[in-house]
Amino acid sequence: MSKKIIIAIDGYSSCGKSTLAKQLAKDLYYIYADSGAMYRAITLYFLRNEVPHTNISQVKKALGNIHLEFVFDVDAGKSILYLNDENIELNIRDMVISEKVSEVATIKEVREFAVAEQQRMGIHKGIVMDGRDIGTTVFPHAELKIFMTADIAIRVERRFKELFAVNPAITIEEVKQNLEMRDYIDSNREISPLRKAEDAVILDNSNLTMAQQLKIALQWAKEKTDLA
Ligand code: DC
């Protein structure tokens, strides 16, 4: 049997990172971890408990009360994130969270907390993790690093379709502004900004189907596992 590797997928918001990561994990029998969901869960906790982002001692205290766990749901065929034993999968996709999450993800203590959890999850390899700093900070030695991009118009359309299905009041303009704002904050923050790792391969999926991008990524994974 070939050795297990770590696959790190980074890129801008709504590039289809989680779709690809989930499919790769399924095909390779690997664990899938959505690091963005962790930042979203922390944001949800901060909003619910009115934690002021600028008060570092309160931020630290709040982080001490947060327990995050991914649990595989056999019926859903995917991992669900639990925040202090509560399934918060639906709550964290809300626009209210999308509007605040990038700001929360700039806080040093929040990043240290999330990165430590993420590194723990990768100890035994055999994991696909997607996010913004996975190939650069979380797993700088990942065997396969993929940096995903897609045209902004295509990303807006994809995200709009997803959000419209649960909230018909949403507008294209709102979605576009949110993606642009998050891309800006994520790329310009001081700690672990979104960057392509030097040894990452670029996957521009603007004109690729899901099946095509999966085929490409599986081939890359095969090449790396053969070497591992
Ligand atoms: O992948 P996502 O859109 O659910 O991520 C939500 C936000 O979390 C994203 O705008 C920035 C932050 N994030 C991060 O800073 N680092 C990561 N590894 C993943 C997400």
Tell me if 60 sits within 8 A of 52, measured CB to CB: no
Q: Give me the sheet containing 86-87, strands edge to edge.
A: 68-73, 78-83, 86-87
Q: How far is Cα 24 from Cα 113, in angstroms, rounded to an integer? A: 26
The CB of 89 under 6 Å from ligand 1? The reply is no
The CB of 189 under 6 Å from ligand 1? The reply is no
Look at strands 144-149 and 201-204 and give their pairing.
parallel
| 32 bridge partner residues | 128
The CB of 213 under 6 Å from ligand 1? The reply is no
Q: How far is Cα 65 from Cα 49, in angstroms, rounded to an integer? A: 11
Supply the residue whose CA is at minimum distance from atom 20 of ligand 1: 36
The CB of 98 under 6 Å from ligand 1? The reply is no
Reduced 3-state DSSP string for the chain: CCCCCEEEEEECCCCCHHHHHHHHHHHHCCEEEEHHHHHHHHHHHHHHCCCCCCCHHHHHHHHHCCCEEEEEECCCCEEEEEECCEECCCHHHCHHHHHHHHHHCCCHHHHHHHHHHHHHHCCCCCEEEEECCHHHHHCCCCCEEEEEECCHHHHHHHHHHHHHHHCCCCCHHHHHHHHHHHHHHHHHCCCCCCCCCCCCEEEECCCCCHHHHHHHHHHHHHHHHHHC
Tens digit of pLDDT at every position of the chain (228 positions): 579 999 999 999 999 999 999 999 999 999 999 999 999 999 999 999 999 999 999 999 999 999 999 998 888 778 899 999 999 999 999 999 999 999 999 999 999 999 999 999 999 999 999 999 999 999 999 999 999 999 999 999 999 998 999 889 999 999 999 999 999 999 999 999 999 999 999 999 999 999 999 999 999 999 999 988
The CB of 131 under 6 Å from ligand 1? The reply is yes
pTM of the model: 0.94
The CB of 36 under 6 Å from ligand 1? The reply is yes
Residues in the chain, total: 228
Q: How far is the CA of 10 from the centre of ligand 1 (A)?
A: 10
pLDDT for 227 equals 87
Domains of the chain, earliest start first: 6-227 (3.40.50.300)
